[in-house]
Amino acid sequence: MAGHSYNNQLKSCWHPTSSSATFLSSFTGPSTPQRSKPAAVPSCPSCSCPPSTYCHLCRPINAPTHTGTSREGAYYWVDTFAHGATPSTAIHGGYDIDGTQIYVGRAFHEGDWLPAKVMPEKNVAYVAYNGQEHAKDRYQVLCEQRFDWVPSSGGHVPPGAVEGGRTSDGETLYVGRVHHEGSLTVGKVHPSHGACYIPFGGREIGNDSYEILVLRS
């Protein structure tokens, strides 16, 4: 995507809905001659979107740290760094085999926004992708609001399920968790695959039975 004009381009960003985060599209404006960007405000290095906008392909990876929270309806995601403070309202998701607490997060990886297991005690978050577990040091943490973990299976997504990400080809991913080898690990529910994938022990592990995070009505 690098090198294209940021005028009159179709951009996708995270915007609020009544209960969950969805992608909406909007034009940046009518076609006009390009204007130079202020030198003091860097543009997005991944796709040349306008300064201070930072599309979904770049946040939070290249977003400035002062962006803070990104509200999405009844809950919101907070940009977080591995060695930074974890918000006090972060949503607890489970625990690792050694008792380390796991929180609900998401991170950008290989063109996808992926639900992540966030482990503040170890200063890292992990995502499951392409058969492997990938460590991330920049991610977002889900905060506030009341949620329930609802048993599900086979890729079924109940009403009110929390959208945790989206693949590069547009499929929505949901926040799930699975009991595995003494842990309760947060992962991604991939509806078209009929499974919840968790990052564990260096691998991506699929499960057809899982719990899915749902916003309490």
Mean of all residue pLDDT scores within the chain: 75
Domain ranges (residues) in the chain? 69-215
Whole-model pTM over 0.85: no
Q: Which band of pLDDT confidence, cut at 50, 70 and 90, is reported for residue 144?
A: confident
Q: Which residue has the tokens 């929270």?
A: 69
pLDDT digits (tens, 9 = 90+) for 90-109: 999 999 999 999 999 999 99
